[in-house]
Chains A and B, each alone.
Chain A
Amino acid sequence: MSTLSLTATYAAMGARRVAVLAIGCAAILVSLVLDVATGPAFLPVAAVAKSVFGLAQDRTVDAIIWSIRLPIAFVALVVGAALGLSGAIMQTILNNPLASSYTLGVSAGAGFGAALVIVLGVAMPVPEAWGIPLMAFLFAGIACAGVYGIGQARESSPEMLVLAGIALLFLFQALLALLQFVASPEALQQIVFWLFGSLQKASWSKLWIITAVLVACIPVLVVDVWRLTALKLGDERARGLGVDVRRLRLRCFVLISALTGVAVAFVGTIGFVGLVAPHIARMLVGEDQRSFLPASALYGALLLSLASIASKTVLPGAIVPIGIVTSLIGVPFFVWLILRNRRAFW
């Protein structure tokens, strides 16, 4: 086989992955349009297009689309992308397909932070509406730092980090249960609704914040993309290839903290996306992180966008919390996906 044929093999692998990413982008575009069209009042796609391009005559339609549905639809995309990306990074640095910010306590930490504000009314130096997101973000960071800090005891081995994450998951769940136990009925209802996850409080300002964090993570990941790929071969082999595994993990934990924190702060805990999007990406493009990370973000965005549509359509006249929808629809799909996958990745 000549150099040309190896080059051809490499090019064919690359072309296939670009196609997977392109299909993901096209599906996201379709889902975005449907998400905007769907709601208590279904809007024809033509009306949506006219409004988006400034050609609409109806001010009510314009208001519905620009003030409510577009921010919700775009927030679904960027939150899904942030959760998919953080799940992918977590599964890579811990070399564990069960890892996600939900299974390792980061989302639980955020939930506890939000509940603290709701129950105790912790005073924050920000407008009232931003108190819950800020505390959720802070506690997502504290949970991440806790996982990393405990993991350090054994040279931040993946096994130790996973165990630390599970321990913190139980800790934050217990603290959250305690807050729910002492909460007033109104506060309890508010906590439960927050924990379900909801896109209904989406706004353009929240969209820009989440997008800014997502975009800020990209250059850091680009620099480390081959090191992360090497880490998939195990710590020892990665170190043998010249990777400073400890520093790489620390950088990644900062990214995970920011991505998960900003995502759950604004929409509540959505568990499933961060776990399943990386699995879909892995099946489609493998674990060369140059394509695995963008694919995880894209398919995370697509999953949450589809869940957003489903949340508005499964019960006529009602909007089901998106965290419930992602699990109810996503779990059977995920089980089907892993059962039909014949490659031994796990």
Chain B
Amino acid sequence: MKLTVAGLSVRYGARQAIAAVDLTAHPGEMLAVIGPNGSGKSSLVKAIAGLVTHAGVVAFDGSPLRPERIGYMPQDIGARAALTVLEAVLLGRLGRLGLRVRPDDLAAVEAVLGELDLMPLASRYLGELSGGQRQLVFLAQALASEPSLLLLDEPISALDIRHQLEVMEIVLRMTKSRGLTTLVILHDLNIAARFADAVMVMRQGRVVCSGRPGDVIDASMVAAVFGVEAALSSAPDGRLIVTPLRALAAA
């Protein structure tokens, strides 16, 4: 289902977090949102999820979004609740849970735990996990709701390089196989270039440019948006590689 955002603005008191953002994302497509810290990426995702007051239109196939169709993974991974991994992931299916948990809810949780290699941790408490493991648990929670729209705010920021690649591969695979519309905030330009179908660049609350990774990510964009001099090259398989050289003094 197609996500359409038009004229989206978010204001926190006197501060304009994002202004007049338009975007379109299609089912089976992963859209990466990149930009420097404080550029409004998280506010954009929260506004789409309906978690902050906003102006503008957010529609899913022309209709307002219903919360149960969204799998949202916030940036914060500091939860220290005395909940097991199994319980935390079950919460992803909150709208469907009764006092007694049904077998199909357990089956859905098991599928996603298996996919993210979290089954051995099922009965462990969240407080006993590392930051990276907790990040995987909350990704599992977002996926357990069997959403149509997946909103991931820096889902791999606490993961080692192997797990970064594995998680992005899983998210990409689910996006394609389940026909999800996936919007993911990333800081690593190489990961964005490698996995995303489309990239949207934000700066100071506004969209700078958007399009296919190869069309959007270039040395001038990196310099203008991030203030970093970078060299771009291609891997043997044709994928884009961004190598930062040094920060620009004037940026």
Contacts and interface: CB of A to CB of B under 8 A. Distances in A.
Interface in A1-43: 1, 3, 6-7, 9-10, 12-13
A243 B79 contact: no
A286 B74 contact: no
A7 B92 CA distance: 17
A6 B110 contact: yes
B114 interface: yes
Interface in B24-52: 46, 49, 51
Given A3-B107, A6-B106, A225-B99, A241 B127 contact: no
A222 B122 CA distance: 25
Interface stretch (B81-89, B161-169, B208-216): B81-89
Nearest to A346: B80
Contacts of A282: 82
Contact of B76 (A225, A232, A237): A237
A287 B82 contact: yes
Given A222-B99, A240-B72, A6 B86 contact: yes
Contact of A236 (B68, B74, B95, B145): B74
Contact of B113 (A6, A226, A233): A6
Contacts of B88: 233
B119 interface: yes
A236 B76 CA distance: 9
Interface of B: 46, 49, 51, 67-68, 70, 72-74, 76, 78-84, 86-88, 91-92, 94-95, 97, 99, 101, 103, 106-107, 109-110, 113-114, 119-120, 122-123, 125, 127-128, 138, 141, 145
Interface of A: 1, 3, 6-7, 9-10, 12-13, 222, 225-227, 229-230, 232-234, 236-237, 239-243, 282, 286-288, 290, 343-346
22 contacts: A1-B119, A3-B103, A3-B106, A3-B107, A6-B110, A227-B94, A230-B91, A234-B76, A236-B51, A237-B138, A240-B51, A240-B74, A241-B92, A242-B67, A243-B94, A282-B82, A286-B84, A287-B83, A343-B82, A344-B128, A345-B81, A345-B125
The secondary structure that dominates the A interface is helix
B99 A7 contact: no
Given A237-B79, A286-B83, A286-B87, A242 B128 contact: no
B91 A344 contact: no
Given A230-B91, A230-B94, A241-B94, A13 B84 contact: yes
Contacts of B120: 1
Contacts of B103: 3, 7
Given A1-B114, A242-B68, A286 B82 contact: yes
